[in-house]
């Protein structure tokens, strides 16, 4: 379980197909504090750490952890897309978040790390120091997105400003752009989207005649 508050900007150091897709991710997290089997959200995808350590050779100070990414995750997220559409490639930066601990501050909203699909950035416009982003959501997910509700995009907890059909907008402040990958975002990129858990269960109750 996560909150959508990004705590590190990681970098894909290596990416290989080893049955499942394998990735090594550079991080500022201290390796000794990462348990094997721990969950880390990488651009909003909950992934399991299978190894961790500190670099050697040309980059001896770089910390890293390894993850495996299942075919289901690749198909449902932006991992397998072309790099110019937001796909994963060596050198790409990722939003990272460690799993929520009991007693941690819940600064964003409840995020599971189970990505529902991808949304596309269709417009960006500076408004003062902030940037207003417009996204196009998959039609199957658009009904779960509401004005002033929460959504996780590439793992970042954001508040929805407005919704029109399958298009919705959010404002991203300078601090968020500085400490996440949003400062490098471009129109046309696809981002991982996870709808709000509350919206998911309300819709399910309605489907079963509970409202």
pLDDT tens for 56-88 read 665 656 899 999 999 999 999 999 999 999 999
The domain spans of the chain are 8-98, 117-207
Nearest to 4 by CA among 186, 163, 189, 197: 197
Residue 186: pLDDT band with limits 50, 70, 90: very high
Q: Do 8-98 and 117-207 agree at the fold level? A: yes
Residue 198: pLDDT band with limits 50, 70, 90: confident
Provide CATH code, domain 8-98: 2.40.30.20
In sequence order, the 6+-apart residues with CB closer than 8 A to the CB of 10 are 25, 26, 27, 42, 93, 94, 95, 96
CB atoms near residue 2 (< 10 Å):
25
Nearest to 33 by CA among 3, 63, 11: 63
* DSSP three-state, residue 114: coil
Please answer whether residues 171 and 125 qualify as being in contact, where contact means their C-beta atoms are separated by less than 8 angstroms.
no
What Rg value do the Cα atoms of the chain yield, rounded? 17
In the chain, % of residues over pLDDT 70: 94
Nearest to 131 by CA among 78, 185, 94: 185
Could you give the CA distance from residue 199 to residue 203 in angstroms, rounded to a whole number?
Answer: 6
What integer pLDDT is reported at residue 60 of this predicted model? Answer: 55
Residue 104: pLDDT band with limits 50, 70, 90: confident
Please answer whether residues 77 and 86 qualify as being in contact, where contact means their C-beta atoms are separated by less than 8 angstroms.
no
DSSP 4: S
Global pTM? 0.91
* Range from 9-23, 100-114, 137-151 carrying the lowest mean pLDDT: 100-114
How is domain 117-207 classified at the CATH fold level?
A: Elongation Factor Tu (Ef-tu); domain 3 (2.40.30)
* Range from 34-38, 60-64, 97-101, 136-140 carrying the lowest mean pLDDT: 60-64
Please answer whether residues 99 and 164 qualify as being in contact, where contact means their C-beta atoms are separated by less than 8 angstroms.
no
CB atoms near residue 132 (< 10 Å):
16
């Amino acid at each position: 379980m996560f909150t959508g508050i990004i705590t590190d900007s990681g970098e894909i150091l290596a990416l290989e197909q080893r049955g499942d897709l394998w990735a090594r991710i550079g991080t500022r997290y201290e390796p000794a504090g990462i348990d094997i089997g721990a969950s880390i959200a990488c651009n909003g995808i909950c992934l399991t750490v299978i190894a961790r350590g500190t670099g050697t050779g040309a980059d001896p100070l770089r910390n890293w952890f390894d993850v495996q990414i299942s075919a289901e995750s690749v198909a449902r997220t932006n991992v397998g897309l072309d790099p110019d559409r937001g796909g994963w490639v060596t050198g790409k930066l990722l939003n990272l978040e460690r799993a929520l601990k009991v007693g941690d501050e819940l600064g964003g909203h409840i995020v599971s790390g189970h990505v529902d699909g991808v949304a596309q950035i269709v417009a960006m416009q500076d408004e003062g120091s902030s940037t207003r982003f417009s996204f196009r959501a998959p039609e199957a997910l658009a009904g779960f997105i509401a004005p002033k509700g929460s959504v996780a995009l590439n793992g970042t907890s954001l508040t929805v400003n407005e919704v029109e059909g399958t298009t919705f907008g959010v404002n991203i402040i300078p601090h968020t752009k500085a400490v996440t990958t949003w400062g490098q975002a471009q129109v046309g990129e696809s981002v991982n989207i996870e709808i709000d858990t509350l919206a998911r269960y309300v819709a399910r109750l309605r489907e079963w005649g509970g409202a």
